[in-house]
Chain A
Amino acid sequence: MNTESAMSKSASRDVQKSTPENIAWVSPRVDIYENTEEFLLLFDVPGATLESVQVELHRNELTLEAKADIGRNSRGYRRAFQVPDGIRADAVAAELRNGILQVHLPKSAEEKPRKIRIEAPN
Chain B
Amino acid sequence: MRSSWVDVDRAFAESELFRRQLDAWFGGASSRQVVRGQGTWNALPDATLLDEGTEYVITAEVPGLTPEEVALDATASGITISGQRKNNAPEGYAAHRIERSSFRFARTLTFPVKVDPDRVSAEVKAGVLTVRVPKSAELQPRRVAVAG
Residues of A within 8 A of B (CB): 2, 4-6, 8-9, 11-12, 15, 24-27, 29-35, 39-40, 42, 44-49, 60-61, 63, 68, 70-73, 75, 78-85, 96, 98-100
Contacts and interface: CB of A to CB of B under 8 A. Distances in A.
Interface in B45-70: 48, 50-53, 57, 59, 61-66
Given A70-B61, A79-B7, A81-B6, A46 B128 contact: yes
A98 B30 contact: no
Contact of B59 (A15, A45, A71, A98): A71
Interface stretch (B71-79, B94-102, B115-123): B94-102
A94 B59 CA distance: 26
12 contacts: A9-B52, A33-B89, A34-B93, A40-B93, A42-B88, A46-B61, A46-B62, A61-B8, A70-B48, A73-B48, A80-B9, A82-B2
B145 interface: no
Interface residues of B, number: 51
B8 A26 contact: no
Contact of A29 (B12, B94, B99): B99
A12 to B, nearest CB: 5
A98 B96 contact: no
A27 B12 contact: yes
B22 interface: yes
Contacts of A39: 96
Contacts of A85: 2
Contact of A82 (B8, B12, B26): B8
Nearest to A62: B8
A12 B90 contact: no
A5 B52 contact: yes
Contacts of A45: 63, 127
Of the candidates B32, B97, B98, B127, the one having the most CB atoms from chain A within 10 angstroms of its own CB is B127
A26 B92 CA distance: 30
B84 interface: no
B61 A47 contact: yes
